[in-house]
């Protein structure tokens, strides 16, 4: 008799299943527009040149060891990461009311932040505090907040299919109607999966409502630098909120902008009203970390810290980031141009208006199915494509296939 | 204050953005006034105090990390070689699967269960790469919380590693204890343990330290393990082994895994948390594995799918670096051989320090029974010292340890062992 006989088979995570199916596909024309990782024009993973350089430095440095990091992580990593998010001249940093918690990727940062909020925000252990995520959002957001214990996860309008853009009026209305002190999960830039970001003016309107309604901003920043090519531009929303006096959480990921996907490098930046509150918050963060992973992995954090704190390496990194962002922008421009040249029905401006790794093409599930089954082009059922999966070599094939899908299937 | 508020544009909104617990209208409002200051970590506190001490003879015996005979962290030679090999391969950094590096998980399971394990041959276990011992315990605890709803009780040995309690509590369990350490003998309270286990309600979860019990260093003997296994079977308890010191305890990896393998052989479908922090010196790389032994391959698939569902919202997938090092070592014959030699020598140094400590205490003229120092095994030694004696050691001799009298033998060297013996004798004579 087994204690596990009643354990049901869980459905596989969709995005990984897509990649698994892609791998098994033997068709030479196959294209993977699924999982979110950068690819070069040869469709290869890209280890950033600056990362290779710093890795070599680490391997050769005999003075380094594998000792435990402190519970909250490598101090130089934490401070330099928060500086990246908030800016070199950040008044909040100068006022010593900013802290960082090194976490396992962006996911880990979201997790620690969510656990903290459940225990200490809006009373103690208030699992009834509403948490708002965008419609749509990264599918793991729901899981993170649910597993942290939150029982009331709601959505705010975000993507408007008809105009293929931001549903601003609905977004603002939903914030207006959110109970005070609700937690609002915001994508700092390069919204996943739609690639649609609010403009600066729109962010100001969002901040305005959130201030009036006493809503808590929890930023998910997984693409800083990767979206526009500029660290400052991509951090504008986060910095604006801080300048407006909000206390915020910002879950930072260095998976994409450093290409350090598998080293799980993330930072939860906490901006509090003052240093005294910050100190207490960090002691409680330690307790959460201690029962989850005790202390974070050192390799990736070292790499990032060295890069961010060494001027020449920092410049080189920014260049590498711009290389990636520029390639994505080029693919966007070319895809849109090809679809327009083919006379594909519909408007395709959203492809260049959207930003970051992903594009919500607007393709419907039937068209998506056609692309996967008939054309061996793999994308998410939502119509989300990873622009990085596009190359100069497969661009024509993909554009023509999209054209076929749209014209053949209503 | 006013200037600060003006400069960050807050003044105009102070009246509208009201803090939940009230607060001066001139102070910036905050959500965190109700956040309590977390209690200081007792072990960290020891290290902090040690750092501040200016006595050149000071000793830090709180540290839970191996040190060589010069008191320095030890980077295993096989680790350096593995790192060089890996660097030369110029691998990419693509996400690992949720369950981690396959080469690692497989080798990790084999190391624990043995290459001839029937469990491995029949594919009725799943091993996921996890974040060292803590991460393995936590994911395992979360899994049990969700799927082993027959109980909300977890039984720990008394005492146990300090972090066991909050890990299982955060996973939703109530913590209970079974007798384990006998302070009168500084040894195993075998009768007490059996008496307590007899009373544990069926289907409860029972945590066992596979070897080198932390903090006491007291392990059951094989015949005692056999009786425990039989009783646990009789009580129908779900066993969760914590194995953080395989190889590090006796110097032999198969020897240290004996209890785990025996229980499995007796039909216990266990959970097992493994850590490579100590035995490969990979502390900060966070290398570990969680294994769930199931009834058959079909059940294993279901369990594996659920483990992934649990892991994804915590950290998505595990870190590569340490797992890659461990896998390279375990799967490369020369490196594996070298590793076994190095692990043996680390364990040996600890064993020698134990023997020399007892010898030195006798030389000092101590007539107390110090047999437990050599009977105990692994990194830690429960000296039997009382809190007042521990306090004297710290105040008079700058020797730092936890209040329970636990010392880390890893902090003892040929250089300082004489001083340690002298000090211990001074406070116990």
pLDDT by residue, tens only, chain A of 410 residues: 577 888 888 877 787 788 889 989 999 999 999 968 999 999 999 999 999 999 999 988 989 999 999 999 999 999 999 999 999 999 999 999 999 999 999 999 999 999 999 999 999 999 999 999 999 999 999 999 999 999 999 999 999 988 889 999 999 999 999 999 999 999 999 999 999 999 999 999 999 999 999 999 999 999 999 999 999 999 999 999 999 999 999 999 999 999 999 999 999 999 999 999 999 999 999 999 999 999 999 999 999 999 999 999 999 999 999 999 999 999 999 999 999 999 999 889 999 999 999 999 989 999 999 999 999 999 999 999 999 999 999 999 999 999 999 999 98
B31 is catalytic: no
B88 lies within 8 A of chain A by CB? no
A168 lies within 8 A of chain B by CB? no
Tell me the pairing of strands B205-209 and A377-378: unpaired
pLDDT of residue B126: 98
Chain centroid to CA B353: 21
Q: Give which of A261, A19, A64, A55 is closest to B89, Cα–Cα.
A: A55
A89 lies within 8 A of chain B by CB? no
B148 with A3: Cβ contact below 8 A: yes
pLDDT of residue A1: 56
> In A, residues 359-398, which contact B (CB 8 Å cutoff)?
none
With CA atoms as reference, the chain B residue closest to A262 would be B95
A99 lies within 8 A of chain B by CB? no
- Cβ-count burial of B413 within 10 angstroms (0-12 exposed, 13-18 middle, 19+ buried)? middle
A140 lies within 8 A of chain B by CB? yes
Minimum-distance CB partner of A4 among B87, B147, B318: B147
> In B, residues 52-81, which contact A (CB 8 Å cutoff)?
65, 73, 75, 79
Residues of B in contact with A104 (CB under 8 A): 131, 314-316, 318-319
3-state secondary structure B249-266: CCCCHHHHCHHHHHHHHC
Q: Show which residues of A are catalytic.
A: 138, 220, 256
| Neighbour-count burial for B95-130, b at 16+ CB within 10 Å, e otherwise | bbbbbbbebbbbbbbbbbbbeebebbeeebbbbbbb
CA of B17 vs chain A CAs: smallest distance (Å):
6
User: Which residue's structure tokens are 């909120």?
Assistant: A241
Question: ipTM of this predicted complex?
Answer: 0.95
For residue A373, give every residue at least 6 positions away whose Cβ sits within 8 Å of its Cβ, in sequence order, or none: none
Long-range contacts of B364-371 (CB under 8 A, 24+ apart): B364/B421, B364/B422, B364/B425, B365/B425, B365/B429, B366/B421, B366/B424, B366/B425, B366/B428, B366/B429, B368/B428
Distance between CA B27 and CA B16 in Å, rounded?
Answer: 13
Q: Which of A262, A263, A277 to mutate to test the interface with B (most CBs of B within 10 A)?
A: A262
Q: Within 13 A of A120's CA, how many CA atoms are on the CB side? A: 24
| Neighbour-count burial for A40-64, b at 16+ CB within 10 Å, e otherwise | ebeeebbbbebbebbbeebeeeeee
Tell me the pairing of strands B399-400 and B59-60: parallel
Distance between CA B406 and CA A170 in Å, rounded?
Answer: 61
Q: Give the H or E element holding residue A124.
A: none
Sign of the alpha-carbon torsion through B375, B377, B383, B384: negative
Query: What number of C-beta contacts closer than 8 Å exist between A and B?
Result: 250
Q: Phi-psi category of A253—alpha, beta or left, where left has phi over 0 and alpha has psi -120 to 50?
A: beta
pLDDT of residue B23: 37
pLDDT of residue A16: 79
SS3 category, B222: helix
A290 with B166: Cβ contact below 8 A: yes
Chain centroid to CA B149: 26
Residues of B in contact with A146 (CB under 8 A): 313
Contact criterion met (CB below 8 Å) for B98 and A66? no
Q: Give which of B138, B173, B410 is closest to B288, Cα–Cα.
A: B138
Cα-only R_g, chain B: 24
B271 lies within 8 A of chain A by CB? no
CA distances from B208 to A144, A293, B132, B194 (A): 30, 20, 17, 13
Distance between CA B429 and CA B422 in Å, rounded?
Answer: 11
In chain B, which residues have pLDDT < 50?
Answer: 1-26
Distance between CA B178 and CA B194 in Å, rounded?
Answer: 9
pLDDT of residue B14: 31
Token representation of residue B303: 């369990």
Q: Give the H or E element holding residue B201.
A: none
B286 with A91: Cβ contact below 8 A: no
CA of A189 vs chain B CAs: smallest distance (Å):
21
pLDDT of residue B170: 98
A349 lies within 8 A of chain B by CB? no
CA distances from B288 to A128, A280, B134, B244 (A): 35, 31, 8, 9
CA distances from B113 to B116, B260, B326 (A): 8, 7, 17
Q: Which of B315, B317, B320, B410 to mutate to test the interface with A (most CBs of A within 10 A)?
A: B315
Distance between CA B59 and CA B411 in Å, rounded?
Answer: 7
For residue A346, give every residue at least 6 positions away whose Cβ sits within 8 Å of its Cβ, in sequence order, or none: A362, A406
B3 lies within 8 A of chain A by CB? no
For residue B129, give every residue at least 6 positions away whose Cβ sits within 8 Å of its Cβ, in sequence order, or none: B96, B99, B100, B101, B104, B105, B108, B287, B288, B289, B318, B323
> In B, residues 151-170, which contact A (CB 8 Å cutoff)?
163, 166-167, 169-170
pLDDT of residue A5: 80
With CA atoms as reference, the chain A residue closest to B278 would be A67
Q: Which residue of the set B81, B161, B196, B225 is catalytic? A: B161
Residues of A in contact with B41 (CB under 8 A): 71, 286, 290
B9 with A243: Cβ contact below 8 A: yes
A141 lies within 8 A of chain B by CB? no
Q: Give which of B109, B145, B392, B302 is closest to A8, Cα–Cα.
A: B302
SS3 category, B112: helix
Minimum-distance CB partner of B30 among A212, A263, A273: A273
B123 lies within 8 A of chain A by CB? no
DSSP per residue over B300-358, as a string?
HHHHHHHHHHHHHHHHSS--HHHHHHHHHHHHSHHHHHHHHHHHHHHHHHHHHHHHHHH
B83 with A59: Cβ contact below 8 A: yes
CA of A363 vs chain B CAs: smallest distance (Å):
27
Q: Which residue of the set B219, B278, B339, B370 is catalytic? A: B278
For residue A100, give every residue at least 6 positions away whose Cβ sits within 8 Å of its Cβ, in sequence order, or none: A72, A73, A77, A78, A79, A81, A82, A267, A268, A269, A270
Minimum-distance CB partner of A263 among B28, B29, B321: B321
Q: Give the H or E element holding residue B109.
A: helix B102-113
Residues of A in contact with B317 (CB under 8 A): 262, 264
Q: Which of B65, B304, B316 to mutate to test the interface with A (most CBs of A within 10 A)?
A: B316
Q: Nearest 5°: CA angle at A9, between A3 and A12?
A: 140
Q: Phi-psi category of B184—alpha, beta or left, where left has phi over 0 and alpha has psi -120 to 50?
A: alpha
B95 with A262: Cβ contact below 8 A: yes
CA of B220 vs chain A CAs: smallest distance (Å):
27
Q: Nearest 5°: CA angle at A227, between A225 and A233?
A: 60
Residues of A in contact with B20 (CB under 8 A): 122-123, 181
B225 is catalytic: no
Contact criterion met (CB below 8 Å) for B417 and B362? no
A61 lies within 8 A of chain B by CB? no
């Amino acid at each position: 008799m087994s204690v596990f006989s009643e354990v049901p088979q869980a459905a596989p995570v969709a995005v990984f299943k897509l990649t698994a199916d892609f791998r098994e596909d033997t068709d030479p024309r196959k294209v993977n527009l699924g999982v979110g990782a950068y690819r070069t024009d040869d469709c290869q993973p890209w280890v950033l040149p600056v990362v290779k350089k710093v890795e070599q430095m680490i391997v050769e440095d005999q003075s380094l060891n594998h000792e435990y990091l402190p519970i909250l992580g490598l101090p130089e990593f934490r401070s330099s990461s928060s500086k990246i998010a908030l800016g070199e001249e950040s008044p909040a940093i100068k006022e010593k009311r900013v802290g960082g918690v090194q976490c396992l990727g962006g996911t880990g940062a979201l997790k620690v932040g969510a656990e903290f909020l459940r225990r200490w925000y809006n009373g103690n252990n208030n699992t009834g505090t509403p948490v708002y995520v965008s419609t749509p959002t990264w599918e793991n957001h729901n899981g993170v907040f649910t597993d942290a214990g939150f029982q009331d996860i709601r959505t705010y309008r975000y993507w408007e299919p008809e105009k293929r853009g931001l549903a601003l009026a609905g977004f603002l209305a939903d914030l207006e109607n959110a109970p005070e002190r609700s937690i609002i999960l915001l994508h700092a830039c390069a919204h996943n999966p739609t690639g649609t970001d609010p403009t600066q003016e729109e962010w100001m309107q969002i901040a305005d409502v959130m201030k009036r309604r006493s809503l808590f901003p929890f930023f998910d920043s997984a693409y800083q630098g990767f979206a526009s090519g500029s660290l400052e531009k991509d951090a504008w929303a986060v910095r604006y909120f801080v300048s407006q006096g909000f206390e915020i959480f910002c879950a930072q990921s260095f998976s994409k902008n450093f290409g350090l996907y598998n080293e799980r490098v993330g930072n939860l930046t906490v901006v509090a009203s003052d240093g005294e509150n910050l100190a207490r918050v960090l002691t409680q963060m330690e307790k959460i970390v201690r029962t989850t992973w005790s202390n974070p992995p050192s390799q990736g954090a070292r790499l990032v810290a060295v890069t961010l704190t060494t001027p020449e390496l920092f410049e080189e990194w920014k260049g590498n980031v711009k290389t990636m962002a520029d390639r994505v922008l080029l693919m966007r421009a070319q895809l849109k141009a090809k679809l327009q040249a083919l006379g594909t029905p519909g408007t395709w401006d959203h492809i260049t208006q959207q930003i970051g790794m992903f594009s919500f093409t607007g393709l419907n599930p039937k068209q998506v199915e056609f692309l996967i089954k008939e054309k061996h082009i793999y994308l998410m059922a939502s119509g989300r494509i990873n622009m990085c999966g596009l190359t100069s070599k497969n661009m024509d094939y993909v554009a023509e296939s999209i054209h076929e899908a749209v014209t053949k299937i209503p | 204050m006013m200037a600060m508020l003006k400069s960050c544009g807050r003044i105009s909104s102070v009246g509208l953005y009201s803090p939940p617990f009230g607060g001066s209208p001139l102070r910036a409002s905050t959500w965190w006034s109700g956040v309590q200051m977390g209690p200081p970590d007792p072990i960290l506190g020891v290290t902090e105090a040690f750092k501040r001490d200016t006595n050149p003879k000071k000793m830090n015996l709180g540290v839970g990390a191996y040190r060589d005979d010069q008191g320095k962290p030890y980077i295993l030679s096989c680790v350096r070689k593995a790192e060089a090999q890996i660097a030369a391969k110029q691998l990419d950094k693509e996400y690992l699967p949720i369950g981690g590096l396959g080469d690692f998980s497989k080798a990790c399971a084999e190391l624990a269960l043995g290459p001839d394990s029937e469990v491995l041959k029949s594919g009725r276990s799943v091993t996921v790469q996890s974040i060292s011992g803590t991460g393995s315990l936590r994911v395992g605890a979360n899994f049990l919380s969700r799927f082993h709803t027959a109980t909300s009780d977890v039984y720990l040995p008394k005492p146990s590693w300090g972090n066991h309690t909050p890990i299982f509590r955060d996973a939703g369990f109530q913590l209970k204890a079974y007798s384990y350490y006998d302070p009168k003998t500084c040894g195993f309270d075998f009768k007490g343990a059996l008496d307590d286990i007899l009373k544990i309600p069926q289907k409860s979860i029972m945590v066992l330290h596979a070897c080198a019990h932390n903090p006491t260093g007291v392990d059951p003997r094989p015949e005692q393990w056999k009786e425990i296994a039989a009783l646990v079977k009789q009580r129908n308890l779900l066993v969760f082994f914590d194995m953080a010191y395989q190889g590090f305890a006796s110097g032999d990896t198969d020897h240290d895994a004996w209890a785990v393998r025996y229980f499995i052989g007796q039909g216990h479908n266990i959970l097992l948390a493994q850590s490579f922090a100590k035995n490969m010196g990979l502390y900060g790389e966070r290398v570990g594995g969680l294994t769930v032994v199931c009834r058959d391959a079909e059940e294993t698939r279901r369990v594996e799918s659920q483990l992934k569902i649990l892991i994804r919202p915590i950290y998505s997938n595990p870190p590569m670096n340490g797992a890659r090092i461990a896998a390279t070592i375990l799967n490369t014959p020369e490196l594996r051989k070298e590793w076994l030699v190095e692990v043996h020598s680390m364990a040996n140094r600890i064993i020698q320090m134990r023997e020399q400590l007892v010898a030195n205490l006798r030389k000092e003229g101590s007539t107390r029974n110090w047999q437990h120092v050599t009977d105990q095994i692994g990194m830690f030694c429960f000296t039997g010292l009382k809190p007042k004696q521990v306090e004297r050691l710290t105040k008079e001799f700058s020797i730092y340890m936890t209040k329970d009298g636990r010392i880390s033998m890893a902090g003892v060297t040929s250089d300082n062992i004489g001083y340690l013996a002298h000090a211990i004798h001074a406070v116990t004579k």
